[in-house]
Amino acid sequence: MKPVSTPTLQDIADAVNVSTATVSRVINNPENVRPALRELVQAQIDALGYVRHGAARELASSKSYTIGALIPTLESAIFASGVNAIESVLVDAGYTLLLAVTNYDTAQEHRQIQKLIGQGVDGLILFGRDHTPETLELLHRQQCPFVMTWTYSDSSILPCIGFDNVAASNEVGNHLIGLGHTRIGVIAGITTGNDRARERVAGIHDALVTHGLQLHSHNVIEQPYELAGGR
């Protein structure tokens, strides 16, 4: 097969008889170009199959237009749904999502964050608050914007958005006690490396203690988020 040259900005500019600066504006700031001209240039971009060179774009704008997300597992439909929502918002904003799976391993997360920062991501989405001091120091040193999701605490000095897992499970415990139950057990996720699971157990424990009851260790079972674990 005969090699085909990669289309350039100049190729598009020549085809439409405009400057490369105009083509660049259509790609990066289309709102600054007259609609008729914008459509003409875009038609040539599509016809020639032009794709922006990521590295060149990053050098020109100091941005990579990529966001990294570190998800605990892809085996949970809840996380998959959250990633789908994140992707939808990022696409609308002109960003690409880079996804990594930590498997609840904070050391693995640290290595992946190093690689994502090395890839030049503009920011990171973390799940939960369980992160090594080295990871937080890395984010601070590299001045990489980040937000912790699926968790929330008024006292957190780090940016977080999500749920107060202690308060939520505390309400569950109070509800069961209000129904007259006194012997309560908990089936939790693996709490190692998972602050959300730990806080849910803590919320149930606090509710029981408030009512003079105990959450016995033999009534707390930890299982991975799998059908077999639930069974």
Same domain, 47 and 68: no
Same domain, 137 and 105: yes
Which domain CATH number covers 67? Answer: 3.40.50.2300
Q: Which domain holds residue 121?
A: 63-161
**For residue 54, what pLDDT is reported?**
55
Please report how the helices 106-118 and 133-141 are oriented relative to each other, as an axis angle in degrees rounded to 10.
10
* Cα–Cα dist 218/186, whole Å: 10
The last residue of a domain, from among 129, 161, 193 = 161
Hey, what are 150's tokens?
A: 């699926």
Mean pLDDT of the chain: 88
H helices present in 93-164, as ranges: 106-118, 133-141
CB distance 96 to 66 below 8 Å = yes
* Cα–Cα dist 73/32, whole Å: 42
- Strands 123-127, 96-101: pairing kind: unpaired
Q: What percent of the chain is modeled with pLDDT above 70?
A: 93
* Cα–Cα dist 69/173, whole Å: 32
Q: Is 175 exposed, middle or buried (0-12, 13-18, 19+ CB in 10 A)?
A: exposed
| CA-angle at 190, arms to 188 and 193, nearest 5° | 130
Same domain, 67 and 157: yes
Q: What is this structure's pTM?
A: 0.67
**For residue 7, what pLDDT is reported?**
80
How does pLDDT run across 126-160, given as a tens digit for each residue? 998 889 999 998 998 888 999 999 988 888 899 99
Same domain, 106 and 17: no
Same domain, 100 and 150: yes
Q: Note whether residue 4 is domain-resident.
A: no
Q: Note whether residue 2 is domain-resident.
A: no
How does pLDDT run across 32-64, given as a tens digit for each residue? 899 999 999 999 888 887 776 555 555 555 688
CB distance 188 to 197 below 8 Å = yes
Same domain, 17 and 34: yes
Same domain, 157 and 177: no
Which domain CATH number covers 44? Answer: 1.10.260.40
* Cα–Cα dist 228/205, whole Å: 25
